[in-house]
Structure 1
């Protein structure tokens, strides 16, 4: 591995990265980043508003975890949408999905205003939204890989991650605040408006296509998909990252993506505002971690950096589960957010940097299949919390996660 990867940037380059955010020199990225910010804000507000609505209306941890699981059902079709994007253009597919998000949010808003909204309707609309939401991540990462030069890829993906964490920070505070004060109807006016802005900004993104010779052109989407699978299976470095991604989605993400409403209500005995504080604190830490990655540049391309942060993320999950005080719980969430973000951004940098451009959409689509670990993990927590309580459930997930993370490192370390 090139020794330059481990060198600290000099002061001048560090300041340039900090003051100019070099990725914004790319016109397409100047549209994509704020579009992604708005999409993430809307996603986060929907998740918190509807999660709290389902929990309070049903009084059931099972239906809360079922709601969380439905948001990731689209992982099954993400590879096919990745293939479609490789053929039709990633901008076209991204804009189409974001237009559908506007329509679905508008329907839910009307149901709320006419006072006909029920948990059943929420679950149905969440399923439809969840069929596309994972693929939004596929398109945005592939577009970053298409439009941003490789030497600024870490900066771009760090800033892209910032858009996700800023959504959790501000979306949590604003969304839950409006929900608590005015109710779900008016909160969803904001959700629809933010989705609409995301769609409008997405129209300014460049549509990059990768031409291949006609004799090499796959004849069907199924053949495209198999080509992506074969690429992953024949590239040990990529395969190891996808297994690691599945592991953290199965054992770590369910705690931070689906169980915060349960912790707020049943452990901290707080309401929507307290839930917003939890999510915002975690997001503040993740935002700080993303900024570190965006500014550090080549240092985050190291595999060691990725593995260390993922293990520290698991450690902080165990600490968080052992705390019953909201104040100390928020401190643990802040630290957890830092390690979570640094680990996940470095994973994206390493993966995207090693993919051939013509197959990038297909492989990232396959990587997004790893998100299917989230609904599986959430359904597991729904059963285990009732059986062995919240802390023991988290500790079980943490032990499994750390052991298998170390196993992945030892098995594929010579390829990474």
Structure 2
């Protein structure tokens, strides 16, 4: 399970991803709760969540840039932006000038780079570890995000409740700085896919031509196309609840405060973390495409059960089970993309994968309107029913590529 940690660069990337993810989760919790408390508007809360993913439109283009200049170099640039932005936010808070409008502006700026940075993590990792360790390495890397959603949620809510937003945001800025330092410690050489120019990328550089090449490559590869549609679907139907709506659920459904919100966020993340550990242990025996399909359906099913409960403990249990299914679906999806894509196209493939996240901000805005007009339960039941139905459609449409035991996407 821990073979990837024998690779020096992987150890540094894992650590950098860990502290950066902690900072992101703390920031999302603190600012999301601030918006809800200051405005009392679920629509503004969903707008805040949507802005954090605005940069998905840039992801394919930044994927092209990553293939050209190297994933390590680009991720260092993006994480330096986190440091600058969080430092500015600290100064604004200390000056007593923070407002809901400024928080939305912060979310807009952060959202320009967040989706791309998270996608480039995967393509950088794929260049640092052998193909045989890729699914295990992906599972271990996923624990950085999952543990952040546990620890970051609990620490963030605890600090916010005890010492307030000022000190909490200083900690967030410090974690972003530490993440940049560990990223700079990753050593690659010119000509390697992790840094420097890929010799297989067409020259001279043309952003739109190379982006078109990546899209055509995905479109002509059936299992990649199926995986992309699953990513599009779950970001629209399944992710709005744990990503953007939990502050609303905590306050309006369970009647709890920011500490209860931290428990709910941590519950989903604990389930995800367990899923990562399971895949890190037995991932070499998992057929990725089948797992991607089956557990996407299970994930939606647990959320249907969740919307019918009003007890915090039972809600935490169901969120944990949903988090487990979520990772048992998405980790194989990412492993499938990285293992079966040609190295010269990995950055572009992950860029398009992150573009799928754009359905999340759109879905959050739609969900906010529907909740105010039709109610939380009806909205979520509609979302989950659509998710299950369309997952089955994708499975049937590309059954030869994702369901057959001997398909490339199911290779062990």
Cα deviation, residue 232, structure 1 = 1.0
What residue in structure 1 maps to residue 161 of structure 2?
180
Q: Deviations over 1:37-82 (max 9, x none)?
A: 0111011001100000001111100000000000000000011111
Cα deviation, residue 301, structure 1 = 3.4
What residue in structure 1 maps to residue 12 of structure 2?
31
Cα deviation, residue 179, structure 1 = 0.6
Separation in structure 2 between the aligned mates of residue 396 and residue 123 of structure 1, nearest angstrom: 28
What residue in structure 1 maps to residue 406 of structure 2?
none
Cα deviation, residue 164, structure 1 = 0.5
Contact 1:135/1:368, CA 8 A, preserved across alignment: yes
2:199 to 212, 215, 226: 212
2:131 to 144, 150, 154: 150
What residue in structure 1 maps to residue 410 of structure 2?
none
Separation in structure 2 between the aligned mates of residue 138 and residue 332 of structure 1, nearest angstrom: 28
What residue in structure 1 maps to residue 248 of structure 2?
262
Separation in structure 2 between the aligned mates of residue 123 and residue 310 of structure 1, nearest angstrom: 31
What residue in structure 1 maps to residue 234 of structure 2?
248
What residue in structure 1 maps to residue 409 of structure 2?
none
What residue in structure 2 maps to residue 159 of structure 1?
140
Separation in structure 2 between the aligned mates of residue 67 and residue 366 of structure 1, nearest angstrom: 23
Cα deviation, residue 327, structure 1 = 1.3
Name segments (4+ residues, structure 1) moved above 3 Å.
none
Residue 116 (1) aligns with residue 97 (2): yes
Distance change >3 Å, CA 219–CA 105, structure 1 → 2: closer
Contact 1:218/1:224, CA 8 A, preserved across alignment: no
Q: Deviations over 1:112-162 (max 9, x none)?
A: 111100011111111011000001112110011111111111110001111
Separation in structure 1 between the aligned mates of residue 93 and residue 132 of structure 2, nearest angstrom: 47
Contact 2:15/2:179, CA 8 A, preserved across alignment: yes
Residue 283 (1) aligns with residue 264 (2): no
Distance change >3 Å, CA 266–CA 299, structure 1 → 2: same
Separation in structure 1 between the aligned mates of residue 6 and residue 394 of structure 2, nearest angstrom: 37
CA RMSD in angstroms, aligned pairs only: 1.1
What residue in structure 1 maps to residue 311 of structure 2?
325
Separation in structure 2 between the aligned mates of residue 189 and residue 50 of structure 1, nearest angstrom: 13
Distance change >3 Å, CA 152–CA 213, structure 1 → 2: closer
Contact 1:154/1:300, CA 8 A, preserved across alignment: no
Unaligned runs of 5+ in 1: 1-16
Distance change >3 Å, CA 218–CA 395, structure 1 → 2: farther
Q: Deviations over 1:389-408 (max 9, x none)?
A: 11111100011000000000
What residue in structure 1 maps to residue 222 of structure 2?
236
Cα deviation, residue 415, structure 1 = 1.9
Unaligned runs of 5+ in 2: 403-412
1:70 to 48, 51, 72: 51
Separation in structure 1 between the aligned mates of residue 35 and residue 203 of structure 2, nearest angstrom: 47
1:336 to 295, 304, 322: 322
What residue in structure 2 maps to residue 99 of structure 1?
80
What residue in structure 1 maps to residue 352 of structure 2?
366
Q: Deviations over 1:183-214 (max 9, x none)?
A: 11110011001001100000122333363368
Contact 1:152/1:297, CA 8 A, preserved across alignment: no
Query: So what's the TM-score if we normalise by structure 1?
Result: 0.93
Separation in structure 2 between the aligned mates of residue 415 and residue 364 of structure 1, nearest angstrom: 20
Contact 1:385/1:393, CA 8 A, preserved across alignment: yes
Residue 412 (1) aligns with residue 398 (2): yes
Separation in structure 2 between the aligned mates of residue 378 and residue 351 of structure 1, nearest angstrom: 26
Cα deviation, residue 166, structure 1 = 0.2
Contact 1:240/1:408, CA 8 A, preserved across alignment: yes
What residue in structure 2 maps to residue 299 of structure 1?
285
Residue 403 (1) aligns with residue 389 (2): yes
Contact 2:52/2:112, CA 8 A, preserved across alignment: yes
Contact 2:288/2:333, CA 8 A, preserved across alignment: no
Query: So what's the TM-score if we normalise by structure 2?
Result: 0.94
Cα deviation, residue 363, structure 1 = 1.2
Cα deviation, residue 218, structure 1 = 5.1
Aligned residues: 396
Cα deviation, residue 306, structure 1 = 1.8
Contact 1:300/1:349, CA 8 A, preserved across alignment: no
